[in-house]
Structure 1
Amino acid sequence: MSLSVGDRAPEFSLPDQDKQVVSLAELRGTPALVVFYPFAFSGICTGELCQLRDELATYTDAGVRVVAISTDPVFSLKAFKDQQGLPFPLLSDFWPHGATAQAYGVFNDKAGMALRGTFLVDAEGVVRFAEVNQPGDARQQTGWKDAVAALS
Protein backbone atom coordinates (compact mmCIF):
# COMPACT_ATOMS: atom_id res chain seq x y z
CA MET A 1 0.00 0.00 0.00
CA SER A 2 1.47 3.30 -1.10
CA LEU A 3 1.49 6.46 0.99
CA SER A 4 -1.39 8.90 0.71
CA VAL A 5 -1.70 12.65 1.05
CA GLY A 6 -1.61 13.53 4.74
CA ASP A 7 0.60 10.56 5.73
CA ARG A 8 3.91 11.16 7.46
CA ALA A 9 6.75 10.42 5.04
CA PRO A 10 8.98 7.56 6.21
CA GLU A 11 12.51 8.61 7.12
CA PHE A 12 15.39 7.38 5.01
CA SER A 13 19.16 7.68 4.92
CA LEU A 14 20.61 6.56 1.60
CA PRO A 15 23.94 6.97 -0.17
CA ASP A 16 23.98 9.21 -3.22
CA GLN A 17 25.98 8.69 -6.39
CA ASP A 18 29.09 9.92 -4.55
CA LYS A 19 28.50 7.65 -1.52
CA GLN A 20 27.44 10.63 0.61
CA VAL A 21 24.47 9.83 2.85
CA VAL A 22 21.36 11.94 2.28
CA SER A 23 18.49 11.69 4.74
CA LEU A 24 14.96 12.99 4.72
CA ALA A 25 15.63 14.39 8.21
CA GLU A 26 18.37 16.68 6.86
CA LEU A 27 15.95 17.98 4.24
CA ARG A 28 13.44 18.88 6.97
CA GLY A 29 12.57 22.55 6.99
CA THR A 30 12.20 22.64 3.21
CA PRO A 31 9.80 20.73 0.98
CA ALA A 32 11.22 17.77 -0.92
CA LEU A 33 10.12 16.06 -4.11
CA VAL A 34 10.98 12.38 -3.69
CA VAL A 35 10.98 10.62 -7.07
CA PHE A 36 11.31 6.82 -7.18
CA TYR A 37 12.20 5.29 -10.55
CA PRO A 38 12.87 1.70 -11.65
CA PHE A 39 16.35 1.78 -13.20
CA ALA A 40 19.09 4.14 -14.34
CA PHE A 41 19.70 4.13 -18.09
CA SER A 42 16.26 2.71 -18.96
CA GLY A 43 14.37 4.65 -21.64
CA ILE A 44 11.36 5.98 -19.74
CA CYS A 45 13.37 6.70 -16.57
CA THR A 46 15.98 8.62 -18.53
CA GLY A 47 13.27 10.68 -20.24
CA GLU A 48 11.52 11.46 -16.95
CA LEU A 49 14.68 12.46 -15.09
CA CYS A 50 15.93 14.55 -18.01
CA GLN A 51 12.60 16.38 -18.10
CA LEU A 52 12.94 16.95 -14.36
CA ARG A 53 16.50 18.25 -14.98
CA ASP A 54 15.28 20.59 -17.75
CA GLU A 55 12.42 21.94 -15.63
CA LEU A 56 14.24 21.92 -12.28
CA ALA A 57 13.76 25.68 -11.78
CA THR A 58 10.02 25.03 -11.37
CA TYR A 59 10.89 23.23 -8.13
CA THR A 60 13.99 25.01 -6.89
CA ASP A 61 12.44 28.45 -7.42
CA ALA A 62 9.66 27.30 -5.06
CA GLY A 63 12.23 26.15 -2.48
CA VAL A 64 11.69 22.44 -3.17
CA ARG A 65 14.66 20.05 -2.99
CA VAL A 66 14.58 17.15 -5.46
CA VAL A 67 15.94 13.65 -4.81
CA ALA A 68 15.56 10.63 -7.06
CA ILE A 69 15.71 7.08 -5.69
CA SER A 70 16.24 3.72 -7.40
CA THR A 71 17.48 0.29 -6.37
CA ASP A 72 20.59 0.72 -8.54
CA PRO A 73 24.04 0.57 -6.90
CA VAL A 74 25.89 3.86 -6.39
CA PHE A 75 28.35 3.13 -9.22
CA SER A 76 25.54 2.93 -11.79
CA LEU A 77 23.99 6.10 -10.39
CA LYS A 78 27.30 7.97 -10.70
CA ALA A 79 27.66 6.98 -14.37
CA PHE A 80 23.99 7.84 -15.05
CA LYS A 81 24.23 11.24 -13.35
CA ASP A 82 27.42 12.11 -15.21
CA GLN A 83 26.08 10.96 -18.58
CA GLN A 84 22.80 12.85 -18.28
CA GLY A 85 24.05 15.92 -16.36
CA LEU A 86 21.49 15.46 -13.60
CA PRO A 87 21.86 18.26 -11.02
CA PHE A 88 20.01 16.57 -8.13
CA PRO A 89 21.07 13.66 -5.91
CA LEU A 90 20.48 10.12 -7.14
CA LEU A 91 20.01 7.93 -4.07
CA SER A 92 20.70 4.21 -3.95
CA ASP A 93 18.11 1.99 -2.28
CA PHE A 94 20.28 -1.01 -3.17
CA TRP A 95 20.82 -2.46 0.32
CA PRO A 96 18.85 -3.53 2.15
CA HIS A 97 17.39 -3.97 -1.28
CA GLY A 98 14.41 -1.68 -1.82
CA ALA A 99 13.82 -1.01 1.90
CA THR A 100 12.96 2.66 1.33
CA ALA A 101 10.75 1.88 -1.67
CA GLN A 102 8.99 -0.70 0.52
CA ALA A 103 8.45 1.89 3.26
CA TYR A 104 6.84 4.20 0.68
CA GLY A 105 4.75 1.33 -0.74
CA VAL A 106 6.35 1.46 -4.19
CA PHE A 107 8.51 -1.67 -4.33
CA ASN A 108 7.83 -4.35 -6.92
CA ASP A 109 8.90 -7.58 -5.17
CA LYS A 110 8.85 -9.73 -8.28
CA ALA A 111 11.05 -7.41 -10.35
CA GLY A 112 13.21 -6.17 -7.44
CA MET A 113 12.71 -2.53 -8.38
CA ALA A 114 10.91 0.61 -7.38
CA LEU A 115 7.74 1.62 -9.14
CA ARG A 116 7.39 5.17 -10.47
CA GLY A 117 6.37 6.75 -7.18
CA THR A 118 6.37 10.52 -6.73
CA PHE A 119 5.87 12.18 -3.35
CA LEU A 120 5.93 15.86 -2.44
CA VAL A 121 6.84 16.08 1.23
CA ASP A 122 6.30 19.39 2.99
CA ALA A 123 8.78 21.06 5.35
CA GLU A 124 7.29 19.19 8.33
CA GLY A 125 7.53 15.75 6.69
CA VAL A 126 3.90 15.33 5.62
CA VAL A 127 3.04 13.99 2.16
CA ARG A 128 1.22 16.69 0.16
CA PHE A 129 1.18 14.88 -3.21
CA ALA A 130 1.41 11.17 -3.97
CA GLU A 131 1.30 9.37 -7.30
CA VAL A 132 2.33 5.86 -8.29
CA ASN A 133 2.73 4.73 -11.88
CA GLN A 134 3.37 1.15 -12.94
CA PRO A 135 6.40 0.04 -14.98
CA GLY A 136 6.11 1.25 -18.56
CA ASP A 137 3.61 3.96 -17.55
CA ALA A 138 5.45 7.29 -17.91
CA ARG A 139 4.52 10.05 -15.49
CA GLN A 140 2.97 13.34 -16.45
CA GLN A 141 4.81 15.91 -14.39
CA THR A 142 2.05 18.53 -14.46
CA GLY A 143 0.57 17.06 -11.27
CA TRP A 144 3.85 17.55 -9.45
CA LYS A 145 4.07 21.15 -10.59
CA ASP A 146 0.50 21.86 -9.49
CA ALA A 147 1.26 20.38 -6.05
CA VAL A 148 4.39 22.54 -5.72
CA ALA A 149 2.39 25.64 -6.68
CA ALA A 150 -0.22 24.75 -4.05
CA LEU A 151 2.47 24.73 -1.32
CA SER A 152 3.15 28.43 -1.87
Structure 2
Amino acid sequence: MTPSPAADGRYPAPDFELPNQFGEPVRLSALQGQPVLVVFFPFAFSGVCSGELDELETVREEFGRDGVRMLAVSCDSKYALRAYSQARGYSFDLLADFWPHGRVASAYEAFDADLGRPLRASFLIDEQGLVRSVVRSGAGTPRPLQAYRDAVRELTSP
Protein backbone atom coordinates (compact mmCIF):
# COMPACT_ATOMS: atom_id res chain seq x y z
CA MET A 1 0.00 0.00 0.00
CA THR A 2 1.24 3.47 -0.85
CA PRO A 3 2.24 5.49 2.23
CA SER A 4 0.09 8.47 3.17
CA PRO A 5 1.35 11.74 1.74
CA ALA A 6 3.04 14.29 3.95
CA ALA A 7 1.52 17.76 4.36
CA ASP A 8 3.25 18.86 1.13
CA GLY A 9 1.77 15.90 -0.78
CA ARG A 10 5.05 14.03 -1.19
CA TYR A 11 5.49 10.44 -0.10
CA PRO A 12 8.23 7.84 -0.48
CA ALA A 13 8.03 5.93 -3.74
CA PRO A 14 7.89 2.17 -3.14
CA ASP A 15 11.25 0.71 -4.11
CA PHE A 16 11.41 -2.10 -6.65
CA GLU A 17 13.72 -4.05 -8.85
CA LEU A 18 12.46 -5.40 -12.18
CA PRO A 19 14.15 -6.74 -15.31
CA ASN A 20 14.14 -4.50 -18.34
CA GLN A 21 13.48 -5.74 -21.87
CA PHE A 22 17.04 -7.14 -22.02
CA GLY A 23 16.78 -8.96 -18.67
CA GLU A 24 18.98 -6.39 -16.89
CA PRO A 25 17.82 -5.54 -13.36
CA VAL A 26 16.68 -1.95 -12.78
CA ARG A 27 16.30 -0.86 -9.13
CA LEU A 28 14.51 2.39 -8.40
CA SER A 29 16.59 3.19 -5.30
CA ALA A 30 19.78 2.91 -7.40
CA LEU A 31 18.49 5.87 -9.43
CA GLN A 32 18.16 8.14 -6.40
CA GLY A 33 19.77 11.49 -7.12
CA GLN A 34 17.89 11.96 -10.39
CA PRO A 35 14.18 12.37 -11.14
CA VAL A 36 12.44 9.26 -12.45
CA LEU A 37 9.17 9.00 -14.36
CA VAL A 38 7.56 5.60 -13.76
CA VAL A 39 4.82 4.94 -16.32
CA PHE A 40 2.56 1.93 -15.78
CA PHE A 41 0.82 0.76 -18.95
CA PRO A 42 -1.62 -2.12 -19.48
CA PHE A 43 -0.30 -4.00 -22.54
CA ALA A 44 2.52 -4.02 -25.04
CA PHE A 45 1.37 -3.77 -28.66
CA SER A 46 -2.01 -2.23 -27.76
CA GLY A 47 -3.16 0.91 -29.54
CA VAL A 48 -3.53 3.40 -26.70
CA CYS A 49 -0.41 2.19 -24.88
CA SER A 50 1.63 2.41 -28.08
CA GLY A 51 0.37 5.94 -28.71
CA GLU A 52 1.30 7.01 -25.18
CA LEU A 53 4.76 5.46 -25.28
CA ASP A 54 5.37 6.83 -28.78
CA GLU A 55 4.67 10.33 -27.40
CA LEU A 56 7.02 9.72 -24.47
CA GLU A 57 9.73 8.64 -26.90
CA THR A 58 9.36 11.99 -28.68
CA VAL A 59 10.05 13.89 -25.42
CA ARG A 60 12.69 11.52 -24.04
CA GLU A 61 15.54 13.87 -24.97
CA GLU A 62 13.62 16.90 -23.66
CA PHE A 63 13.04 15.18 -20.32
CA GLY A 64 16.60 13.86 -20.37
CA ARG A 65 17.93 17.43 -20.52
CA ASP A 66 16.04 17.96 -17.26
CA GLY A 67 17.73 14.83 -15.86
CA VAL A 68 14.54 12.72 -15.89
CA ARG A 69 14.94 8.97 -16.43
CA MET A 70 11.88 7.25 -17.90
CA LEU A 71 10.81 3.73 -16.95
CA ALA A 72 7.72 2.12 -18.49
CA VAL A 73 6.24 -0.84 -16.59
CA SER A 74 3.77 -3.52 -17.65
CA CYS A 75 3.00 -7.11 -16.68
CA ASP A 76 4.24 -8.39 -20.03
CA SER A 77 7.29 -10.66 -20.05
CA LYS A 78 10.73 -9.23 -20.79
CA TYR A 79 10.64 -11.14 -24.09
CA ALA A 80 7.42 -9.45 -25.21
CA LEU A 81 8.77 -6.10 -24.05
CA ARG A 82 12.00 -6.60 -26.02
CA ALA A 83 10.03 -7.34 -29.20
CA TYR A 84 7.75 -4.36 -28.50
CA SER A 85 10.68 -2.01 -27.86
CA GLN A 86 12.42 -3.12 -31.05
CA ALA A 87 9.25 -2.86 -33.13
CA ARG A 88 8.43 0.65 -31.85
CA GLY A 89 11.99 2.00 -31.51
CA TYR A 90 11.82 2.86 -27.80
CA SER A 91 15.08 3.97 -26.27
CA PHE A 92 13.97 3.90 -22.62
CA ASP A 93 13.67 0.91 -20.31
CA LEU A 94 10.53 -1.22 -20.45
CA LEU A 95 10.25 -3.16 -17.20
CA ALA A 96 8.53 -6.51 -16.73
CA ASP A 97 6.29 -6.68 -13.64
CA PHE A 98 5.59 -10.22 -14.80
CA TRP A 99 6.19 -12.32 -11.70
CA PRO A 100 4.95 -12.08 -9.05
CA HIS A 101 2.32 -10.76 -11.41
CA GLY A 102 1.68 -7.04 -10.86
CA ARG A 103 3.54 -6.84 -7.53
CA VAL A 104 5.11 -3.46 -8.28
CA ALA A 105 1.96 -1.99 -9.85
CA SER A 106 0.08 -3.12 -6.74
CA ALA A 107 2.60 -1.37 -4.49
CA TYR A 108 1.78 1.85 -6.38
CA GLU A 109 -1.98 1.17 -6.21
CA ALA A 110 -1.89 0.97 -9.99
CA PHE A 111 -3.03 -2.61 -10.60
CA ASP A 112 -6.44 -3.89 -11.70
CA ALA A 113 -6.58 -7.32 -10.06
CA ASP A 114 -9.84 -8.21 -11.82
CA LEU A 115 -8.28 -7.73 -15.26
CA GLY A 116 -4.72 -8.67 -14.25
CA ARG A 117 -3.12 -5.56 -15.70
CA PRO A 118 -1.65 -2.24 -14.61
CA LEU A 119 -3.82 0.83 -14.61
CA ARG A 120 -2.84 3.92 -16.60
CA ALA A 121 -0.90 5.63 -13.84
CA SER A 122 2.40 7.50 -13.90
CA PHE A 123 4.54 8.71 -11.02
CA LEU A 124 7.16 11.45 -11.18
CA ILE A 125 9.68 10.76 -8.42
CA ASP A 126 12.16 13.41 -7.30
CA GLU A 127 15.88 13.06 -6.55
CA GLN A 128 15.16 12.07 -2.94
CA GLY A 129 12.85 9.22 -3.96
CA LEU A 130 9.61 11.05 -3.16
CA VAL A 131 6.53 10.94 -5.39
CA ARG A 132 5.91 14.51 -6.52
CA SER A 133 3.22 14.11 -9.21
CA VAL A 134 0.79 11.44 -10.34
CA VAL A 135 -0.88 11.34 -13.76
CA ARG A 136 -3.78 8.90 -14.20
CA SER A 137 -6.39 8.23 -16.85
CA GLY A 138 -9.19 5.74 -17.30
CA ALA A 139 -9.21 2.62 -19.44
CA GLY A 140 -8.77 3.44 -23.11
CA THR A 141 -7.95 7.08 -22.39
CA PRO A 142 -4.38 8.26 -22.98
CA ARG A 143 -2.66 10.37 -20.36
CA PRO A 144 -2.04 13.87 -21.71
CA LEU A 145 1.56 14.57 -22.67
CA GLN A 146 1.17 18.12 -21.38
CA ALA A 147 0.51 16.76 -17.87
CA TYR A 148 3.97 15.15 -17.97
CA ARG A 149 5.57 18.33 -19.26
CA ASP A 150 3.90 20.39 -16.53
CA ALA A 151 5.00 17.95 -13.81
CA VAL A 152 8.60 17.87 -15.07
CA ARG A 153 8.68 21.68 -15.34
CA GLU A 154 7.36 22.04 -11.79
CA LEU A 155 9.90 19.55 -10.47
CA THR A 156 12.92 20.97 -12.28
CA SER A 157 12.19 24.71 -12.07
CA PRO A 158 14.18 26.62 -9.43
TM-score higher than 0.5? yes
Q: Is the 8 A contact 2:2 2:14 kept in 1?
A: no
Name the counterpart of 2:62.
58
Pairs within 5 Å for 1:101-116: 101-116=105-120
Question: In the alignment, is residue 131 of structure 1 matched against residue 135 of structure 2?
Answer: yes
Matched-pair contact (CA < 8 Å) for 2:97–2:103: yes
Question: Residues 38-94 of structure 1: CA distance to partner in whole angstroms, max 9, x if unpaired?
Answer: 000000000000110012122101000000000001110000000001000000000
Alignment of 1:1-152 (within 5 A): 5-152=9-156
Gaps of 5+ in 1: none
Q: Which amino acid aligns with 2:118?
A: A
User: How many percent identity over aligned positions?
Assistant: 42
Any idea what SS the aligned residue of 2:49 has? Answer: helix
Q: Which amino acid aligns with 1:66?
A: M
Contact 2:33–2:128, Cα closer than 8 Å, also in 1: yes
Structure 2 residue identity aligned to 1:106: A
Shift of 1:2: 6.5
Please provide the CA RMSD for this pair: 1.3
> How far did 1:134 drift?
2.1
Q: Give TM-score, length-normalised by structure 1.
A: 0.96
Scaled by the length of structure 2, what TM-score is found?
Answer: 0.92
Distance 2:83 2:26 in 1: 18
Q: Residues of 2 paired with 1:7 and 1:42: CA distance? A: 31
- Matched pairs, number: 152
Q: Which moved more, 1:35-44 or 1:134-143?
A: 134-143
Q: Distance in 1 between matches of 2:68 and 2:55?
A: 16
